[in-house]
Chain A
Amino acid sequence: MSVIVCSFHGWMQVRLATNPDPTDELRGVSGYTFALPGEPDLDRVLRSRDPVAPRTHGPPIGVAVHRVTVDGHEVGGHPLLGARFDLVGDALFESVNEVIYTMGEEPLEPFEVQLSHGAFALRRRAFLDPTRPGATVYDVPRALLDAHASDVTLGDQIMIEATGAGDPVAFRARRLALLREDLATCTDPAQRAGLGRRISELEITAPTDHRTQSMLFIETRHYPLNGPTTITDPERWLGTLDTYADFPCDLILGSWDADALSAYAAGTLTLPTH
């Protein structure tokens, strides 16, 4: 038996309303995130690919495997290096403004992972309750929500990994300067309106403000992928995958860029094989 661990990192997009807006607010009013003129409604989906209306100067959306170990030993040149890591099935942050769970600690649901590279593809979901695959966050006991909740800490390590620096105020000031330059030459009315909104948000610079402080939030979730496994592995990169065992997936989200509606994602997917 061998254990393959794929480490991944990259950026995800999440176009969600923020408190005190209701969870299902579509355009953003009282929080600090907005659907700008010309952009589709907010939808709360955590996307690892195909970003919707990506913002200028935001990070490139996409998450990929950058390190593979087999039984603890790094394998340079492993075929899974560079594989895409995706959340599929429209994962949502399911706090529902504290109806379901404490904000920031809420489960991501549905949590379904896909690893793909060329003809290779592996897909598996972490069900809240594997005995009731149809159960939602509204249906399961508290203990199962707790098991899918996030540990939240405050620190600059993820922001440094994501952006090369750990100062949210400086990060936002740089973005503000870029947007002001853009506004000076922009003539399109919709873009000007959107830039104006982004600029007015970035002009709020207090280090204790949600917009700034949340860049240092680090949310860590541990999900056992426990649903049926779908795999296409023509080159047998994984050998014989043990699909009876759970696949542990650790996901860290941080460096929340509220202006670009993007967060840095890092973590590991563990694949047990026979």
Chain B
Amino acid sequence: MNADLLATVAPAPPIPPITTREELIDALGKAAEIEHALMCQYLFAAFSLDRTAPGLSPADQEHVRTFAQMTLLIARQEMEHLGIVCNLLIGVGASPNFDRPNLPLQANYYQVDLPLALLPFGERFLVLAEQLEAPCQDHAHEPLPYYPSVAAIYDRLRDGLVRLGAASPDLFLGADDPQLTNADFGVPPAQLWYDVALMPVTDLPSALAAIDLIRVQGEGATADDPHSHYERFVAMHRTWDALPAATRAQMVRPAPANPMTSARGDVNPRVTCTVLTDERAVGLANLENRCYELLLLLLSRLYGATDATAADRAMYQEYAFFPLMTMVVRPVSEILVELPAGDGRHCAVPTFEIDGPIRTYLDRTTFHVQLAERLAHLATGFAAIAAMPDVPARLHYVAKNVAYVRDRVLAYIAGTNTSAIL
């Protein structure tokens, strides 16, 4: 369904400005979910690229590497945007939001006049990404019944923050609550670190600076800012269009759009989805989703958990960002695309499904127990699939590393007052 169709059913009223804290929190919550969904979309597209496809010319090898590099960079910055929005949520007195609905979603799910979907890299993906990241047009300041792109969401948020900040001296109720910022990584406040910068939100100027960073990275500081997501996608699209069709076909694996590990009722029913059926692929995709969920749980503790000790926060941070993101989620995604989907046509792919809401654990002891349990299940599960026939040997390395992380976390817990319950 698109905005035109909606309008034929009932004339939608323009999206109203934000005038209360509740409306601000609702809008920030949705922004977090959109950023999170965008991150998954871009990761999915990057993993669908075949960077080692045989027969590519040296120049085309560099083209496909650049497509993957840029798409992953933008995905990291969407992750950063999610983090910044969570700091905004905490700053105004709400809890962070690491939840999101499963993809694909129909257009207008978030009043954005575009669908959100897991698409392999290619024409459809690039067109959608460009539309989502498009800068605000002049007419964007007119009230519309939908957002033409993500930038318009931040226009409204900025406007709301200015209005509420001027009217409510106590808008930033959570200024002292735990947020995740560059300082936690020992990085100076404004410095990009792996292409991201996490900013604290404690007052109106810092909130507006956070919104502006998101906008500059997305739509650009100027109309032709080559570092904006929009211009990066436009540049990739231009390169893509200039490639021969046969070369483009070689660069992308036969990845299905909108994959899932089992039929689901919580996604857009009008879109064709592909259910993975290969036993190894289903098992591995499910484990990856569990790992991704664990990562989100760690993040939810890092952001806003007031009972976490400094050592706890260091431990969450130590495992969430590097081992789980870079040594599990990414390698497993790259292993998945080397397995068959099971339908005889497609390769397997990461599905980025979330089973139920991401709960924020309010108590460190119960969280630590479940952290250890979840890591133990992951270690056992990865080892079991690694032992299956025709699974890339790289999975043994993943399994070994997850087992090591499990043991380190157990050692941490044993050294703290959460050990007695285990």
Chain A residues within CB distance 8 Å of chain B: 19-24, 26-30, 34, 37-38, 96-100, 103, 138, 142, 189-190, 192-194, 196-197, 208
Contact = CB atoms under 8 A, between A and B. Distances in A.
A98 B318 CA distance: 7
Contact of B326 (A19, A189, A194): A19
Nearest to A138: B404
Interface string B176-198: 00000000000010011010000
B65 A29 contact: yes
Interface stretch (B67-75, B161-169, B199-207, B356-364): B67-75
Contacts of A97: 322-323, 326-327
Nearest to B65: A29
B238 interface: no
Interface of B: 51-52, 57-59, 61-62, 65, 68-69, 72-73, 76, 188, 191-192, 194, 318-319, 321-323, 325-327, 330-331, 394, 397, 400-401, 404-405, 411
A264 B76 CA distance: 32
B326 A190 contact: no
A197 B191 CA distance: 24
B331 A192 contact: no
B57 A34 contact: no
Given A30-B73, A97-B323, A99-B404, A20 B62 contact: no
Most A C-beta atoms less than 10 A away, residue of B68, B326, B331: B326
A189 B63 CA distance: 13
Contacts of B73: 30
Contacts of A103: 322
Given A192-B58, A193-B59, A99 B401 contact: yes
Given A28-B65, A194-B58, 5 more contacts: A22-B326, A24-B397, A38-B58, A98-B318, A98-B319
Contacts, number: 78
A196 B72 CA distance: 20
A2 to B, nearest CB: 43
A20 B327 contact: no
A22 B68 contact: no
A96 to B, nearest CB: 6
Contact of B323 (A30, A98, A194, A208): A98
B395 to A, nearest CB: 11
A20 B58 contact: no
A61 B319 CA distance: 36
A21 B326 contact: yes
The 10 closest A-B pairs by CB, nearest first: A37-B58, A193-B58, A98-B322, A190-B58, A97-B322, A99-B401, A193-B62, A99-B323, A97-B327, A37-B61
Contacts of B62: 37, 193, 196-197
Contact of A20 (B76, B394, B405): B76
Contacts of A189: 57-59
B61 A96 contact: no
6 contacts: A20-B194, A22-B326, A24-B397, A29-B51, A138-B404, A190-B58
Contacts of A96: 323, 327, 401, 404
Contacts of A190: 58
B278 to A, nearest CB: 23
A23 B57 contact: no
Nearest to A23: B327
Contacts of B322: 19-20, 97-99, 103
A29 B72 contact: yes
Contacts of B52: 26-27
Nearest to A196: B62
B89 to A, nearest CB: 25
A193 B330 contact: no
A203 to B, nearest CB: 12
Contacts of B326: 19-22, 97
